[in-house]
């Protein structure tokens, strides 16, 4: 990570930008956007695996992928607004790509509202999986197709060839470090889900024992007033 940040400051200016120094935010903006898209594509794969196998681990993986996709999506929007401010004069221009990515982030955020609406784990997992599968096509349309249908301020640097090899090297280094960090976070998030589920199961077992008062639980008792 540190190496990526260091490279980002030492890379030569890209001539395609107005403000060549501050436009270096692109080194972090592009990998965040790619990472977010990758996790949003992985989530329906996990959701499909859940619907086929009904194993809870796939639902946890889908939720983790959506969560990291949302996090990277929000970081993409923030870094994009910084880029927009220095290049186009305002942080938000209702540019087609900016707007479509905002919609993608909102669709992803709605997934968590849906998950929170169900208390039954089975229902939560199956409805969430269906939502992820239904959302992927609109998301891909908003990411890859819609912005190219309209005039956009966004530079299509990949097609126009606006970056030299050094610029692409820095983007590759930051992308790899971001991918490794995201993979680590993904594993940790799934582990948190597994542990929390095991904890809920333990609590449920304690509650269903013959002993009506599980150890560690103190029930309030009424104490008669002896002064009367």
Footprint of other proteins (CB under 8 A): 1, 5, 8, 22, 24-25, 27-28, 32, 57, 60-61, 68, 71, 74-75, 78-79, 82, 178, 181-182, 184-185, 187-192, 194-196, 198-199, 202-203, 206, 216
47 near 133, Cβ under 8 Å? Answer: yes
Which residues in 110-133 are b (16+ Cβ under 10 Å) and which e?
ebeeebeeeeeeeebbbebbebbb
Nearer to other proteins among residue 25 and residue 132 (C-beta): 25
Q: How far is the CB of 1 from other proteins (least distance, A)?
A: 6
187 near 39, Cβ under 8 Å? Answer: no
Nearer to other proteins among residue 56 and residue 127 (C-beta): 56
Nearer to other proteins among residue 13 and residue 145 (C-beta): 13
Nearer to other proteins among residue 91 and residue 138 (C-beta): 91
Q: How far is the CB of 39 from other proteins (least distance, A)?
A: 13
What is the number of other CB atoms lying within 10 angstroms of the CB of residue 217? 9
Q: How far is the CB of 93 from other proteins (least distance, A)?
A: 18
> Helix 2-10 crosses helix 26-53 at what angle (to 10 degrees)?
140
Nearer to other proteins among residue 172 and residue 198 (C-beta): 198
**Structure token pair of residue 140:** 């891909």
Q: How far is the CB of 106 from other proteins (least distance, A)?
A: 18
Q: How far is the CB of 121 from other proteins (least distance, A)?
A: 16
Nearer to other proteins among residue 57 and residue 140 (C-beta): 57
Nearer to other proteins among residue 148 and residue 201 (C-beta): 201
Q: How far is the CB of 24 from other proteins (least distance, A)?
A: 8
Cα 29 from Cα 67, distance rounded (Å): 18
* DSSP letter string, 36-48: HHHHHHHHHHHHH
Cα 7 from Cα 174, distance rounded (Å): 9
Q: How far is the CB of 68 from other proteins (least distance, A)?
A: 8
62 near 128, Cβ under 8 Å? Answer: yes
129 near 62, Cβ under 8 Å? Answer: yes
Cα 145 from Cα 164, distance rounded (Å): 26
């Amino acid at each position: 990570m540190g190496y990526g940040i260091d490279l980002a400051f030492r890379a030569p200016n890209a001539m395609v930008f107005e403000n060549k120094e501050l436009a270096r935010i692109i080194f972090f903006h592009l990998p965040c956007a790619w990472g977010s898209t990758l996790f949003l594509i992985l989530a329906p794969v996990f959701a499909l695996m859940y619907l086929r196998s009904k194993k809870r681990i796939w639902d946890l993986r889908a939720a983790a992928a959506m969560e990291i996709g949302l996090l990277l999506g929000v970081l993409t929007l923030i870094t994009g607004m910084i880029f927009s401010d220095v290049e186009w004069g305002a942080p938000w221009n209702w540019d087609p790509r900016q707007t479509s990515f905002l919609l993608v982030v909102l669709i992803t955020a709605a997934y968590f509202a849906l998950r929170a609406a169900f208390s039954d784990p089975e229902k939560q997992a199956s409805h969430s999986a269906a939502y992820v599968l239904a959302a992927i096509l609109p998301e891909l349309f908003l990411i890859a197709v819609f912005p190219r249908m309209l005039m956009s301020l966004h530079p299509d640097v990949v097609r126009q060839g606006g970056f030299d090899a050094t610029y692409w090297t820095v983007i590759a280094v930051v992308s790899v470090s971001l991918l490794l960090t995201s993979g680590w976070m993904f594993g940790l998030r799934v582990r948190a889900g597994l542990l929390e589920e095991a904890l809920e199961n333990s609590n449920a077992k304690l509650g269903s024992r013959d002993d009506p008062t599980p150890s560690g639980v103190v029930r309030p008792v009424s104490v008669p007033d002896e002064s009367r």
